[in-house]
Amino acid sequence: MTERPLLYSYFEDSVNVLMANYKRSANQNADTNLGKNRENFYNNFLKKVLPPRLSVRSGEVWDSKGNKTGQLDSIVIRDDCPSLDRFG
């Protein structure tokens, strides 16, 4: 029998919680609420499990050639990554 990693059960249970939230959110018929709720529960999960040097934000990603992704709900960035504050 193959031994599972030490934290396997913890992350397996976390998957079950995320899937339960996903299924529960599917009962909402309003697209705006559905997307926002799903964004909230997976962002909250990421904030809890990511190391301190990483954070979850929303916005756009620009590359060195000026290409933009458009609005993204979740972006994982390092604490030494350049970012622009929201204004306006």
What distances in angstroms separate CA 3 from CA 7, 11, 27, 29, one per listed residue?
A: 11, 15, 38, 43
**Residue 12 dihedral angles phi and psi, to the nearest 5°:** -65, -45
Q: Tokens 């996903």 map to which residue?
A: 22
Residue 78: per-residue pLDDT:
92
* For the chain, domain boundaries: 7-49, 52-88
User: Is pLDDT of 85 > 80?
Assistant: no
- Condensed to tens digits (0 to 9), the pLDDT of residues 5-34 reads 898 998 899 889 888 888 887 777 766 666
Query: pLDDT band for position 87 (50/70/90)?
Result: low
Average pLDDT over residues 28-57: 82
